[in-house]
Amino acid sequence: MKDLSISNSHLDQIEHLLAQSMNGIHLLFDNETIRRVFKKPSDETDLFQFKNLARVQELFTRFVENESFHDKQEFLQSLDQESFEILLRAYFQIVDNSIFASDSTRH
């Protein structure tokens, strides 16, 4: 089985990107692409079904392990449309979960 661990330096990079996204600054994805992907409601995709979790994890790990911001952009550009959309949705799911986890004023 392939090792899917992520190094600390790569975690720091992705945490920075996620923090920017939590503030509405999406460095990796342009607004038009985000809008296009999310036009299709997530309930129409089977992104988070058990059978797809390994694929999501593998794509996200490969994405994070790219050395530089530029390498991450090139990786995104190299993906087929379906893989790109899966990764974009997973990325924003993490952003949403991070925002929710950091919100201290829940009712």
What's the pLDDT at 3?
Answer: 54
What's the pLDDT at 43?
Answer: 62
* One pLDDT digit (tens) per residue for the chain, 107 residues: 455 566 666 777 778 788 888 888 888 899 999 999 999 877 655 666 777 888 888 999 999 999 888 999 999 999 999 899 999 998 898 898 888 887 655 44
Buried b / exposed e along 45-82 (16+ C-beta atoms within 10 A): eebeeeeeeeebeebbeebbbbeeeeebeebbeebeee
Host H or E run for residue 17: helix 8-22
What's the pLDDT at 4?
Answer: 52
What's the pLDDT at 107?
Answer: 46
What's the pLDDT at 46?
Answer: 66
